[in-house]
Amino acid sequence: MRKIVLVLVLLLTLLVLTTFSFPAIPVTNSVALAAGVVPSSGIAVGIYLPQNNTYNGSAIDRYTKEAGKKPAFAWLAMTWQYLDGSYWQFNPQMLEQFRTRGIVPGLNWDPSKGSTESYTDRQKAINQPDFSWKQIILGRHDAYITRFAQAAAAYHYPFLLRVLHEMNGNWYPWGYGVNGNTNPADFVTAWTHIVDIFRKENATNVQFVWCPSVLNPNQIRKYGAAFKQAYPGDNYVDWVALDGYSNAENGWWSLQDAFKPSYDFITSFSGRPMILFEVGSTENPADPMAKANWITQGFLTTIPNQLPRVKVAAWFNLVDGSGRDYRLQTSPNAIAAWKQVVASPLYQGSLIK
């Protein structure tokens, strides 16, 4: 009998060591709140990497080898439908390639038929009224959302889910000013409708990320009131987030100029921890050190000193649909700067208990 008990104890210990979970935290309306899962100290490094549909972890392994350290957080993107109109179902392998490597996974879950990059006509990609806020509210996609939530709950392991991101822009079907999306209250209702389905299906392992695109001070003065009205409230949001970039179009503005105004505004009405979900800079042909300096100044000085509520900062390692190259591999100087960041004591935060 003692041998049997000892074997059971060893098996249970092995199970605990080979999985991870977020700490037990208070629950409001059956949804775990994020306040208990952020790093107790340090900032967690995140990464977005484009990859093929094998989801075997090869892309993240290559990144880890090149950067010298695995990220704490990594995410992938998917749409609600493929271009043929069939629904893209929950695929645990998309997350397992990260989880099994000790990396907290995330999904960007876009209400659209195919990604915007899959359209040669960008306007056609935007004009998808089936994915408007009102259509979500009316339940057009409820069967799909329910199946997705059920599969996510069955997956059991925690992950971050970003939905309806950059809603303050007009470049996605769910964005403000397109497909009849003009009332911020409709956005909030669409958001809570989705979250409520996940709550009903007991998908407490899913943490929701509310993520606008950065606004400059003039935009905040002009649109700030509507922007604030589009926030569903801390009881329906686990993480607040921002997307921002530096490139020729904005004069290669600093990370502080890109993020600080929106950071200050959002933290004035939300108590949730923040993720910089998409961060990137292109090279400046006039200065071969510009991107490297942008990385070190932004990550090693601006974020820890000016943006203290940021608990995760994720680099967007991609050439975007307009040809802007945000990859870290654009120059030896850029990758060397990134290695400084991931090796810094400031960036040893972890989301794993």
- pLDDT above 90: residue 108: yes
- Among residues 84, 113, 88, 107, the alpha carbon closest in space to that of 179 is found at 113
What's the pLDDT score for residue 190? 98
Confidence of residue 243 (pLDDT cuts 50, 70, 90): very high
- pLDDT above 80: residue 8: no
Structural domains of the chain sorted by starting position, each given as residue range(s) with its CATH number in brackets? 2-347 (3.20.20.80)
Average pLDDT for residues 85-95, to the nearest whole number? 97
- Among residues 52, 102, 36, the alpha carbon closest in space to that of 74 is found at 102
Which helix H or strand E contains 316, and what residues bound it? strand 310-316
- The whole-angstrom separation of Cα 93 and Cα 97 is 6
Mean pLDDT over each residue of the chain, to the nearest integer: 90
pLDDT in tens, 203-226: 999 999 999 999 999 999 999 999
pLDDT in tens, 284-313: 999 999 999 999 999 999 999 999 999 999
Average pLDDT for residues 127-156, to the nearest whole number? 98
What's the pLDDT score for residue 353? 66
Average pLDDT for residues 225-236, to the nearest whole number? 96
CA 56 to each of CA 35, 161, 272, 285: distance values in angstroms, whole numbers, following the listed order: 31, 20, 33, 36
Average pLDDT for residues 152-157, to the nearest whole number? 96
pTM exceeds 0.85: yes
pLDDT in tens, 185-207: 999 999 999 999 999 999 999 99
CA 343, chain centre distance (Å): 22
- pLDDT above 50: residue 1: no
- The whole-angstrom separation of Cα 255 and Cα 294 is 7
What's the pLDDT score for residue 269? 98
Cβ–Cβ under 8 Å, residues 160 and 167: no
Cβ–Cβ under 8 Å, residues 289 and 334: no
- Among residues 70, 138, 152, the alpha carbon closest in space to that of 106 is found at 152
What's the pLDDT score for residue 170? 96
* Bridge partners for 105 per DSSP: 74
Coil, strand or helix: which one is 196?
Answer: helix
CA geometry: angle 204, 207, 208, nearest 5 deg: 125
What's the pLDDT score for residue 100? 96
* Joined tokens for residue 143: 């069967």
What's the pLDDT score for residue 117? 85
* Bridge partners for 32 per DSSP: 27
- pLDDT above 80: residue 11: no
- The whole-angstrom separation of Cα 265 and Cα 221 is 10
- pLDDT above 60: residue 17: no
Q: What angle in degrees, to the nearest 10, is found between the helix axes of 184-200 and 217-229?
A: 50
